[in-house]
Each structure stands twice: as C-alpha cells, then as structure tokens.
Amino acid sequence: MIKISLSKGFTLPRLGKEAFAKLMRSGVEYDKTNGLFTIKDASKIDSIVAIIRESTNDIISIELQCVLCGKDAGCYECEFSNGCDRLSVSNKCICKDCMLKGYDNYIEHIRSLIK
Amino acid sequence: MLVGKYRPKSIVEMVGNEDSRLAVLRWLTNWQQGSKPMLIVGPPGVGKTTLVKALTNDLEYEVIELNASDERTKDRLESIIKPLFTNANIYSRKVLLFLDEVDGIHGNYDKGGFNALLNLLNTATIPIIMAANDDSNENMKELKRVCNVVRFKRIPPRLLMLYLEHVLKQEGIDVSIGDRVRVVSESYGDVRTMLNKAQAVIDEVYSATPKAYTVPIEQAMNRFFSASSISDAIDALRSCEGFYSDPRFYRDSEDRRLDKLHTIYTSIVNSNKDIDSIAKMLDALSYADILVSIINSKRRWDMLRYLDALIAGSIFYASRGIAYTQYDMPYNLSSKIFNEGKVIRDITEVLAKVLHESLHNIKAYYIPYLILILSNKKDYMRSAIESGILPKDLKVLL
C-alpha cells in the first residue's frame, strides 16, 4: 500500500519516465535530495492518485491534512476511517487535538485566512 | 428545524472545502467586467448554494437566483437575464446572478436554452455564479471551457462532527456519542442530511435503531400499505430514507423523496382498486408531489416534516390492501408500448438522417403527417418514392 500525505512529503517506488513527467505536470513536486514527493495543488488529487495507481498497480491510501495546524489529520487512527472515502471528501480535515479546541477555534482560523 | 436555523450566514461559518471557499471569495472580490463566470461543481449538500448566499451576504451583493432546471428554454433565459445585464447599474446594491443546477439544462429539448446561456455568459456585465451537481455530460464540458471551475467535495466526517457538536451545544441538547457517530457516519459528507438526521434524533423520531431507516424501499412500501394506523404508516414512509436495493434509486435525498412518491404511484395504478379510488389517491398524491417540488426548488427543508404525514393522512384509508409494485403499468401493456415505441424510434432516426432534421422535429411534425399519409394515401406515397420525388429510405414506412 502506498501512503500519500497531503501535508508532508511522501516516497514512491520507481514510476518510470512518463508517469513521473505526468505527475510533475499535475502539481506534484519532487525533492531530489531527500527523494520526497510533495503535492502542491491538492485540488488535483484525483488525477495524481490515478497516475500513481496506474503506474504502480498498488493500493493508494491518502492522509488528509489538518486545516488548522497543517499536520497530518490522523486518518489511520480516525474513528470514521472505515466509512470515509478520502478521495471524495475535501482534502482538509481536522486532527484530534485541534478538534478538541472546538468550532469557534475553527471559524477563527478561517477568518484569519480570509483576511 | 436545524437545517434552516443553522444555515451559515457568512462563509466563515461553513465547514469543509476551505480552499474552494477561498477561491470563490477571491474570484468575487477581484471580479471585473470581462472576468470569466464561476462554476461550482459538487454533490448535493456540500454547501454550494449556501456558499453563494453567505458570500453575497458578506460582500453585500443582491442575488438574483434562477433555478436553471426550471428556467431553461432560450426565450425564458433571455427574457430574464438580458434585462439584468442592461440594467445592472440601476440597482442600489451590487448584483450577482446565481444559476443553480445548470446541469439540469441538457437534452435535445433544452439545446436552445443551453446555447442561449453560453451566449449570455459572453456578454455578462455582472458576476455570474453557476452551481452543478454533475459535470460529466457534453454540455457541461462546453460550459467548463468558458468558466472558472471550483470543485466542492463531501465534508470529512470529523469536520461534520465538529459542526454537529457546535449545533448541539447551541441547542443545549445532549445526544449520546453513539447517536452522534451514527448521524455523522450515515450523512456521507452531506451537512444537510446530517442536520436532518440530528433533528430526527432530537425529535426522537428514531433512536438508536439503525434498522428503522435502512429498510429497502419495497419493504418500506409494503409496510406502509399494510400499516394498521396512520402513525405506523408515517413511520414506514420515514424509513424509506435509506439504501434502496433497487438500483434505479439514488442515495441523494432529493431523488429519494421523488422515488418515494413514484413507488406509491406505481403501486396505486397497478392495484385492483376501483377507478374512483385510484383517481382520488392520485389526486391526493399530486399534492404531495407539489410539496416535494416546492421543498426542492425553494430549498424549504423545514417543510419536509409535513411530507410523510401528508401522504399517509391523505391516502391511508383508500390504500389498504395495495402491494408494492415496481412498474408503471401491467407488463403486457408496457411491453406493447415499448415495442411500438421502438418502431417509431427507428423510423424517426431514418427520417432525421434523410431529411436533415432533429429527432424532436421529426417526432413532433413529420410522424403525424406520415401516419396520415400512410393510412389514406399509401399508393401515392409508393409511386412518389418509385418516381424519385421522395427518398428511397422512406420505404420503411410502407
């Protein structure tokens, strides 16, 4: 299984020249020094996953990003992980720690983004 | 109703799709004449309409809303939209045109409407936002080429839970963690569904019994028709808001309400009841249909609570003894109509090619005359084909 994190870099097996070029065109960046891929445009996640799936034939699992702290949202330990299709939900969720801070904290953060 | 009470008034109050919300906000803030219109695509209940309302409220726009599914002919669209463009600056506030459900403009009959919409978009003097549930058909592909497209996705369950807990806190209601998790899990990223389910929990319409709202439609309908009291019948109808084993039915709650009416309709018309009883039941059902249309088109979810009671109350006594039937009419009748329809469709296709006309025009204007000719002047037509006045392909009609 290939785990793709939307908040930090992730590694991939060798994809081949064509698939690599397609990924770069789809808003993925590659850090040569550390061998890590990062997704710059999460709105293209569907096509990115499709490219990786096609070239690796492996199961892809996505880790969403916490909208507040920017870290991994903790999808693998989430109480809703079984029923959550992470490809069809918006790419930012909320981690357990930030969730405890409540809805008011969430809207304050959104307000700060708008300003 | 929670759905009406907690509809966000500002875009900061919404949950999920943060990047998409900001993208639409930036687009409207920077909008100037000549900017591309905005197309928001996403499944129902994720906040497309709410975003437009909240955004225009935040930025003090006057919204002119058109449910494009209803207003879709060329003339209708032009008569409403063109004056808006020419008179935009006579309004006291800034004006924004919102076309909801633009994916409802499709098919041959609406082609004029869709082309008119494309032309109108090019001449826009005010910001236009369009919303669509689905962007896979050909028309939508064409529309996407001339618009900025922003996608809305379903809301992740944890964010739904965050919002649900906020709502429950505001209401001062304590709901068990089991019920909260179940409400969120079974909302499938749809805020509206979640609030409706939460409302049902609060109203104690259903408690912690998942079976109460996951019965297949045929089971629910049979339960409805065999219920011993009106309240049992209402419960049975309410239990339809779940998964249907019949693949014709969708998971979208708006479609499900129509499916519910449709199954009652098919069951009634196939029943052995006398014609007067059937007429009375269908008449009563038509009021429920009107209510569903109002609920869906005006987004009046608060009126949903009356639907099941209206259906059960109006047809309960007359409908005892009816059984669920899937098809609109008896099989021998439907197969005859289907087969005759196929012949007409084949003929229509041939004529459309030969005469360079649309299928619609052939069906509406040519076929009735051809039937008349065939019934009266068969020999004239044969000789016209043989002498080359009419194309040889028309022989299929002889």
- Beta-ladder partners of A38: A29
pLDDT at B70: 60
Tell me the mean pLDDT per 10 residues along chain B, length 398.
84 92 93 90 88 91 75 74 77 82 65 77 89 84 89 92 92 86 88 86 57 66 89 84 48 65 88 91 93 80 82 92 79 76 82 87 85 73 72 62
DSSP classification of residue B363: I
pLDDT at B68: 53
Going by C-beta distance under 8 Å and a sequence separation of 6 or more, which residues neighbour residue A100? none
A99–chain B Cβ distance below 8 A for any pair? yes
CA distance B304 to B237: 12
Q: What is the pTM of this model?
A: 0.62
Beta-carbon count within 10 A of B193 CB: 21
Beta-carbon separation of B154 and A89 below 8 A = yes
Q: Nearest 5°: phi and psi at A7? A: -100, -30
The C-alpha atoms of residue B344 and residue B342 are separated, in whole angstroms, by 5
Return the pLDDT at B363. 86
What is the predicted ipTM? Answer: 0.85
Look at the block and give the residue holding tokens 């006594």.
B317
B53-69 burial: b if 16+ Cβ within 10 Å, else e: bbbbebbebeebbbbbb
Mutate to test the interface with A, among B14, B150, B158, B191 (most CBs of A within 10 A): B158
Task: Check CB contact under 8 Å for B184 and A88.
Answer: no
Contacts 24+ apart (CB under 8 A), B361-368: none
What is the nearest CA distance from A68 to chain B, expressed in angstroms?
Answer: 11
Name residues 33-62 of chain B within 8 A of A (Cβ): 46
Q: Which residues 21-40 in chain A show a CB within 8 A of chain B?
A: none
Nearest CB to A103: which of B153, B157, B162?
B162
Write out pLDDT tens, residues B306-360.
Answer: 888 999 999 999 999 888 887 777 777 777 787 777 878 888 888 888 888 888 8
Q: Which of residues 170-199 of B touch A (CB under 8 A)?
A: 181, 184-185, 189
Question: Closest to B184 (Cβ–Cβ): which among A80, A106, A113?
Answer: A80
Nearest to B183 by CA among B203, B204, B157, B205: B157
> Which pLDDT belongs to residue B120?
85
Q: Say if A64 is an interface residue toward chain B (CB within 8 Å).
A: yes
Distance from CA of A24 to the nearest CA of B (A): 21
pLDDT value at residue B245: 46
Q: What are the two backbone dihedrals, phi and then psi, of residue B46, each rounded to the nearest 5 degrees?
A: -100, -5
DSSP B110-132: GHHHHHHHHHHHHT-SS-EEEEE
Please enumerate in sequence order all residues whose Cβ is within 8 A of that of B305, keeping only pairs 6 or more positions apart, or say none: B1
Predicted local distance difference test score (pLDDT) of residue B71: 55
A73 touches chain B (CB under 8 A): yes
Q: What is the pLDDT of residues A84-113, one digit of tens each?
A: 888 889 889 999 999 999 999 999 999 998
- Cβ atoms of residues A104 and A93 within 8 Å: no
Does the beta carbon of B152 lie under 8 angstroms from any beta carbon of chain A? yes
Rounded to the nearest angstrom, the minimum Cα separation between B234 and chain A is 29
- Structure confidence at residue B92 (pLDDT): 67
